[in-house]
Amino acid sequence: MIFNGNIISEETFRLEDDKLNRYGLYEYAMNLGSYLGVKYAFTEEPDGKPHETACFDPEDNLVMIPAWAIDEGLTEKEYKATKGFIDHETGHVLWPDCSYLINNAKDEAENEKEKLIWNIGNMIDDIRVERRLVNQFQIDEGNFTYLSELFYKDMHEITNLRYEDVDLLFFMVNIYYRKILRHKKIQLSSIVNEAFVNRLMPIIDRFIDSDEKAGETAKEIIDVWGCALEEQYLIELSNI
């Protein structure tokens, strides 16, 4: 792959195990930045509070990684998650999609819809860039699993996932696409599994292997999920 006039290859993303530390990961991010023509920074909030997650700002041509991700004394698994952070955001640099970004809607209901499109669009875009990184550059997909586990480490404690929650979609994506197997300990209704596996996964799989816009696909997912919600509501009524 050619980007910014440079060849981006499997070697570009190689990081030896003895570099899985604060200094090795910093150097790795800076090297990626020089190849891609993008600035990488390990940042905190202006008041010194830590950023929770990473992001790519195409306007400023800047990838921001939370500073805590290269703290001293992290475990090897946590440092692998940091590499997942860096690689994930690099995926957004290589294959940008702004179709799901939020507009400043004046109507509150419209603003909520924009947020929903952003959440779902970002979710499926994340899966697509991770899949492309793994397939094109043989990046260890386990790093993305470790990264996701950092943000869903308490998911196994949740016992009452509501069917309509967007969090449930993230939960299902983690099971089926990031292979977080421990989440399968949570008992999901057959209706939830049926809706995701038979209705949403074909849409997500199609999107992952395409150049479709995440925003438009998110709208499709919302419509399909809404129909599944309605069916669930009718079933619950019939059981009263």
pLDDT of residue 158: 47
CA-nearest of 151, 143, 167 to 90 is: 143
pLDDT of residue 227: 81
pLDDT less than 70: residues of the chain: 103-109, 152-165, 181-189, 191, 229, 232-240
pLDDT digits (tens, 9 = 90+) for 158-178: 445 555 567 778 888 888 898
CA-nearest of 125, 64, 62, 114 to 91 is: 125
**Domain ranges (residues) in the chain:** 1-96, 99-240
Q: How many CA atoms lie within 13 A of 15 on its CB side?
A: 27
pLDDT of residue 204: 97
Q: Provide the β-strand partners of residue 64.
A: 41, 55
DSSP states along 4-15: TTEE--GGGG--
What's 200's DSSP letter?
I
* Total count of residues recorded for the chain: 240
pTM, entire model:
0.88
